[in-house]
Amino acid sequence: MVSQTQIAQRVVESILAQKLAPGERLGEQALADLFGVSRTLVREALMQLQARGFVEVRTRKGWYVVEPSIQEARDAFAARRAVEGGMLRQTEGRPLQAVVRRLRKHIGAEKAAIEGADAATRAFLLADFHVCLAECLGHRMLADMLRDLTARTTLVATLYQSRHDAAESCADHARIVSALEAGDVAQAESLMLAHIGDVEAALGVSTLPESDAQARLRATLAPLAQPVLARRR
């Protein structure tokens, strides 16, 4: 049976893939039917997501994906700069050959997704690069933190219609990895901070179209077409 953690994880992955939009309703019964579980289990998963800042409950209306404010958006990007910049500084003097190999494999998957037609996998991989980096460096706790922070900034990008191009993000990632390969940690940190800043600067204004709630829920919470890379455990 699907667990509450798995339901919550599916929701976060759908946010990272930009398949679940800010302000979207998450009906308890619809989710229970979708996952074949009780409404109690779904409610527990939604409460977990509420504690992580991804959903909110509206009186007499139900559960909704949060719509981050401009200030919350700034806070999320500032937190990412602090976490990712500090994480890279800690790599000074460490052997990074294995890390670079795994990150290059990830970038290869990003490029393949950009060339393909699966927008959800493309969006997921570009966001997941930052989580992958933390995992490759052995920071399990930071990886969990970055998964949530990256999902928050993905919600922001979806809500405010980011103009940052996917190929540009992939190229940024490749430059960061090249700097790590060269042992230039300061350059890798500088490139990472510039990348996060560029993504934040690309935000604009968006109006989100409405769609059939149940059909969209089924589509947005479907697993990605392929397990893009084996997860790091």
CATH number, residue 22: 1.10.10.10
**Looking at the domain assignment, is residue 228 inside a domain?**
no
**Looking at the domain assignment, is residue 105 inside a domain?**
yes
Residue 212 binned pLDDT confidence (cut-offs 50, 70, 90): low
Please check whether residues 20 and 84 belong to one and the same domain: no
**43 pLDDT above the threshold of 70:** yes
**Looking at the domain assignment, is residue 123 inside a domain?**
yes
Please check whether residues 190 and 215 belong to one and the same domain: no
Please check whether residues 39 and 89 belong to one and the same domain: no
Residue 92 binned pLDDT confidence (cut-offs 50, 70, 90): confident
Please check whether residues 149 and 134 belong to one and the same domain: yes
Share in percent of the chain as helix, strand, coil (round to 5): 65, 5, 30
Q: Is the model more confident about 69 or about 161?
A: 69
**Looking at the domain assignment, is residue 225 inside a domain?**
no
Quick one: which of 193, 219, 202 has its CA closest to 88? 193
Q: Strands (DSSP E) along the chain, which ranges? A: 25-26, 55-58, 62-65
Which CATH number is 87's domain given?
1.20.120.530
**209 pLDDT above the threshold of 70:** no
C-beta of residue 153 within 8 angstroms of C-beta of residue 80: yes
Would you state the pLDDT for residue 1? 82
A 10 A CB-CB count for 142 gives 21
Please check whether residues 30 and 118 belong to one and the same domain: no
Please check whether residues 59 and 74 belong to one and the same domain: no
Domain that holds residue 157: 70-201
**Looking at the domain assignment, is residue 187 inside a domain?**
yes
Global confidence as pTM = 0.82
Would you state the pLDDT for residue 121? 93
**213 pLDDT above the threshold of 60:** no
Please check whether residues 59 and 75 belong to one and the same domain: no
Please check whether residues 13 and 42 belong to one and the same domain: yes
Instruction: Give me the percent of the chain exceeding a pLDDT of 90.
Output: 74
Residue 206 binned pLDDT confidence (cut-offs 50, 70, 90): very low
Please check whether residues 137 and 167 belong to one and the same domain: yes
Tell me how many domains the chain contains: 2
**Looking at the domain assignment, is residue 231 inside a domain?**
no
153: left (phi over 0), alpha (psi -120 to 50) or beta: alpha
Burial of 112 (0-12, 13-18, 19+ CB in 10 A): middle
Would you state the pLDDT for residue 57? 94
Please check whether residues 33 and 98 belong to one and the same domain: no
**Looking at the domain assignment, is residue 28 inside a domain?**
yes
**207 pLDDT above the threshold of 60:** no
pLDDT in tens, 17-34: 999 999 999 999 999 999
**Looking at the domain assignment, is residue 36 inside a domain?**
yes
Please check whether residues 103 and 41 belong to one and the same domain: no
Please check whether residues 58 and 77 belong to one and the same domain: no
> Helix 28-35 to helix 213-220 angle, to the nearest 10 degrees?
50
